[in-house]
Amino acid sequence: MEIINIEQGHPTVQQAMTKLQNGIYRARATGKPLAKIVHGYGSSGTGGAIRQAVGTELRKYISRGIIKTYCPGEDFGPFSSTGREMSAKHPEASRDRDWGLQNDGITVIMFK
């Protein structure tokens, strides 16, 4: 699984979205079916602006046909339908160190 770290360097939301775009295209070019976005959770304890912006952007990538689906870290595991779908199609998902840990600081994407 490719790692897209958009949290590194404590970027602004706009800088993080640029990192996200570049990371998605770079990860997609590797041919791997999954990528993990590391965005952090935010220091407020209620979910950061970057985390929220990632969800908004990923919905756009789905509508444009670039990614098939995404799974927020809190759902990335055997107890969510999206987590099970990812694992069924790509068993390496369930071997990831964040599988089932409810990590709010990541989001996993599955390419088409």
Q: What is the pLDDT of residue 48?
A: 85
Q: What global pTM score does this model have?
A: 0.94
Q: What is the pLDDT of residue 27?
A: 98
The fold for domain 2-111 equals Ribosomal Protein S8; Chain: A, domain 1 (3.30.1370)
Residues 6+ apart with CB under 8 A from 1: 32, 34, 35, 36, 92, 93, 96, 108
33-72 pLDDT tens trace: 999 999 998 755 555 899 999 999 999 999 999 999 999 9
* Cα separation, 34 vs 76, whole angstroms: 12
